[in-house]
Structure 1
Amino acid sequence: MDFFHGQEALSAVEWILRSVVTFIFLLFAVKVMGSRAISQLRLLDFIMALMIGNIIAHPLSDHRIGLKGSVISTIVIIILYLIGIFLNLKWPQLRNIIESSPISLIKEGEISYKGLKKARISIDTLLAELRKEKIADVKKVALAMWESDGKISIFLDSQYEAVTPSIYNLKTEPFDLPQTIIKEGKIDYSALQQLNVTEGLLVNTLKTIHQVEVGNVLLCTIDGKKNLNVFLYK
Structure 2
Amino acid sequence: MDFFQSQESLSAFEWILRAVVAFIFLVIVAKVLGQRAISQLRLLDFVIALVIGNIIAHPLSDEQLGLKGSVITTTVLVCLYLAGIFMILKWPWFRRQVTHPPITIVQNGEILYKGLKKARISLDVLLEELREKAVKDVKTVALAVWEADGRISFFLDPKYEPITPAILQMETEPFDLPRTIIKEGKINYEELQQTKRDEAWVTTRLERLYQIEVKNVLLATLNAKDNLKVFLYK
Q: TM-score, normalised on structure 1?
A: 0.78
Report how many aligned residue pairs link the two structures: 196
Measured after TM superposition, the shift of residue 158 of structure 1 is 0.9
Deviations 1:144-177 (A, max 9, x none): 1111111111111111111111110011122111
Match of 2:223 in 1: 223
Match of residue 174 from structure 1: 174
Whole-Å Cα distance in 1 between the matches of residues 196 and 135 of structure 2? 46
* 1:19 corresponding residue in structure 2: none
* CA distance 1:40–1:82, shift in 2 (3 Å): farther
- Is the Cα contact below 8 Å between 2:48 and 2:81 reproduced in 1? yes
Please give the root-mean-square deviation of Cα atoms over the aligned residues, in Å: 1.8
Q: Helix, strand or coil: the match of 2:105?
A: strand
How far the C-alpha of 1:73 sits from its partner, in A, is: 2.6
Q: Which stretch of structure 1 is more off in the superposition, 59-68 or 123-132? A: 59-68
Matches within 5 A, 1:106-117: 106-117=106-117
The Cα of 1:212 is off from its aligned counterpart by 0.8
Task: Return the alpha-carbon distance in structure 2 between the equivalents of residues 200 and 95 of structure 1.
Answer: 60
In 2 relative to 1, CA 131–193 (structure 1 residues): closer, same or farther, beyond 3 Å? closer
Deviations 1:107-145 (A, max 9, x none): 111111211111111112112211221223221111111
1:33-82 C-alpha deviation (Å, 9 max, x unpaired): xxxxxx94011111111111321232243232234532443233223222
- Give the corresponding residue for 2:81: 81
What is the deviation of 1:103? Answer: 0.8
Structure 2 CA distance for aligned equivalents of residues 117 and 40 of structure 1: 19
| Matched AA of 1:120 | R
- Percent of counterpart pairs with the same letter? 61
Amino acid in the other structure paired with 1:104: T
What residue is the counterpart of 1:90 in the other structure? 90
1: CA distance, partners of 2:209 / 2:136: 45
Amino acid at match of 1:215: K
Q: 1:214: how far off?
A: 0.9
- Superposition map of 1:35-114 within 5 A: 40-114=40-114
TM-score of the superposition, structure 2-length normalised?
0.78
**Shift in alpha-carbon separation, 1:78–1:164, aligned structure 2, 3 A:** same
Unaligned runs of 5+ in 1: 1-38
Q: What letter matches 1:227 in structure 2?
A: N
* Greater mean alpha carbon deviation, residues 207-216 or residues 86-95: 86-95
Structure 2: gaps spanning 5 or more residues = 1-38
CA–CA distance in structure 1, aligned partners of residues 227 and 67 of structure 2? 56
SS in 2 for 1:48: helix
Q: Does 1:186 align with 2:154?
A: no
3-state SS of paired residue (2:212)? coil
Q: Secondary structure at the residue paired with 1:202?
A: helix
Counterpart residue identity of residue 124, structure 2: D
**Aligned with 2:54: secondary structure?**
helix
Structure 2 CA distance, aligned partners of 1:201 and 1:68?
Answer: 63
